[in-house]
Structure 1
Amino acid sequence: MSTTNKFSFVNPNKVPFFYGYIVLFIGTIGVWASIPGQTVGVSVFTDPVKDALGLTRNQFSNAYMIGTFMSSFFVARAGVLFDKYGARYVAFFAAIFLAISLLLASVSVSISEFFKTLFNNTSWIIPFSVISLLFFMIRFSGQGVLTMASRNMIMIWFDKNRGKVNALSSVAVSLGFSSSPILLNRLIDDHGWQLSWQLIAICLLIFSFFILQFYRNNPEDFNMIPDGSKIIEDKVKIKKVEHQFTLKEAKETRAFWVFGLTLAFNSFFITGFTFHIVSIFANHDYSKSEAISIFLPISIIAISVGTLFNILSDYVRQKILLYLMLFSGLLATVGLLLLGNSIRIYLLVIGLGGMGGMFSVINAVSWPRYYGRLHLGAITGKIMSFLVIASAIAPSLFSYSYTTLGSYSYISYLNIIFLITLIIASIKAKNPQ
């Protein structure tokens, strides 16, 4: 226990209640802390940063795609490190790395000018390369590692109540993510994009101290069991899954790919839609304020759906939740394809809200239930790489669909084909336990 509690003043065994609830609280804040590395946090900085760097929207979208795509190759490795060293150290270094990345991003214009002078070249390739590398650092540490470590830690501390606990965390995360664009936009308006990133970086450095103090890897490290502070004794039988799957074994099951690709679709659709939401709605004669306003009802639906089905996930089969998420994806895709009047907007809003709510359930609860806790980092790290790749290519595919083919509708056609394929494949996707 001395090793697992190193550098901390907090002893979980001396807390008067189950320490898992502290893990729930601090882990949820850890997911909040990843917002600067999420699309919802980056998109607010898009216009001022691209203008400062002298990049076009397509160039900036491509830089985002390249940086995010590069990060996907390292996220799976971070999952292995999670299994080896635990959430505490992985999240600690992820928060510091994200802070450093934001500090460098805040001076990206100066870095670009330095290299322009050094190479005596004023080409757009230099700022493009600089921001691509910075996007890699931001997306890897924020969207990838910090999110994975914080969410997995919460799931490891609970078993029977995993769905109920995830309901609480998901509500808080949804509220934080939905309100973050407004708060970040206000921060940029008041202090500019450079100082805003610097202030966020300082907050992350402070939070890294709290990670060391309160993050803990496993209840067993402190002679506890998931769901309660009951001390482990020989006569106590702890319920375990039948088999602790390795990543290799998990990849041999159909459920791994069907669930993973369904989650990746959500990441693809949400990222591409959010990145170009103003342009998408402008093509149907909606104003910017009208476009942004749909996030509120989407959040309300996502929170309601997520809360309900997180609780129900403790009692129902995960496959039912999968079908609900795929159906929500179809609603959202059809809503985008037929966007033009209020009824079709309702389809889009309901679909996005339902898909977002189900994502919070499946992405957290399914993996430990299907494959166990022992190799959870490696498995969820691989799944996170799917999500990162999907979010990497989405902005550019949405952008080229419009700029080259003249409409966002072609993305919807592609999405419908993909979803129907997943629905057919999911028929034989079973719980490997």
Structure 2
Amino acid sequence: MMFDLDKWQEILATIRKNKMRTFLTGFSVAWGIFMLMILLGSGNGLSNGVASNFMSDAVNAMWIWSGETTVPYQGLKSGRPIRFHNDDYEQLKNMPGVKTVSGRFFMGNTRYAYGKESGEYTTVTCHPELNDVDQNVMLEGRYINQIDIEQRRKVVVLGKDIRDALFKDQPALGEYVKINNVPFRVVGVCMEPESTRNRNAFMPVTTAQTVFNGSNRLHNFALTIDGETLAESQSIEENIRRMLAKKHRFAETDDGALGMYNQLENYIQTMRIFQAIKIFIWIIGIGTLIAGIVGVSNIMLIVVKERTKEIGIRKAIGASPASVVGLILLESILITTVAGYIGLVLGSGLMELVNLAMMQSPGGEAQQGGTLFLNPTVDFGVAVSATVLLIISGTIAGYIPAKRAASIKPIVALRDE
């Protein structure tokens, strides 16, 4: 019986008598489950870290920029610069598969001044839809809106670092800063998620084109696309390339004329790699568990060998095969369960401590997106399932020699030396 006190006392006496053997058996099991927890936690940490880096921008984001042709096309020579304009923006807005699009006109580093404070910062000129891609967090005020674009308002959204440098502890909203000596009203303060540098300012692209001699010129586009699979994403990318190649007369295969970066495509491909890494980790972890199970099985074989005469005596005085099997089986289950639990607690605990240390490190969550390792913890259900699997496997490993012991004839067992 499972709850036979005499039987458990006998098992504990056997374990105490063979401390080193029991320790080594338990260690092999505990080490197997401990390493599985470490491997799974590390795999999750890597996967979460890379996914977090992607999430700092919209996963379905795409960037398009122009360059120079590298091959002749339709009688036009190579080395011809491709230039985007406002009508390209209008066409992209109406393309199937494009959710939002923002044109950008580069001003580069520009001088900002307020009172006695000044400095050079990066000005990003854009449409309101740029924030669908960048996903900046508004700390004060608002982002660029459509009325700003239509009325070519002289307004600006400052990055947190610019606000801190120019205004110190003073309020910035509603104040005017000079950008290359042209006054612009501050309508918002923002910060990039997962970034330690917030030195960008945002202004309406139409205002930049008018005030800073940009004409109707655009340098690049930031889009979000309506694609969820790799095939959909690539199809939208090909359609955009085809449209712009036809409009600006360059070969579709000319990567020098048109550059494109598809974040969704890279995200899907990267996550596939990490899925393969997770499978590989599971294979290594299961291999480690099997090594522990084999260790239990070998020890049980030795136990049977050592106790052959004892088993013969038990059977000679009327012990049933089931009681012989149960005795050895319970010893196997006890060692496997206790050792597996210890390995589970140590492995999961270590991963939780690593996660806690990372959360409390300087910068904490704000810097997590810049790391390749994030939240290296193991799902509790997975951890428990692995431990239960180990216990079941340890039971089977103990059953094989136990069954062999039960089949020994008493006369043969008693003759054993």
Relative to the length of structure 2, the TM-score reads 0.23
Whose strand proportion is higher, 1 or 2? 2
Whose helix proportion is higher, 1 or 2? 1
Relative to the length of structure 1, the TM-score reads 0.22
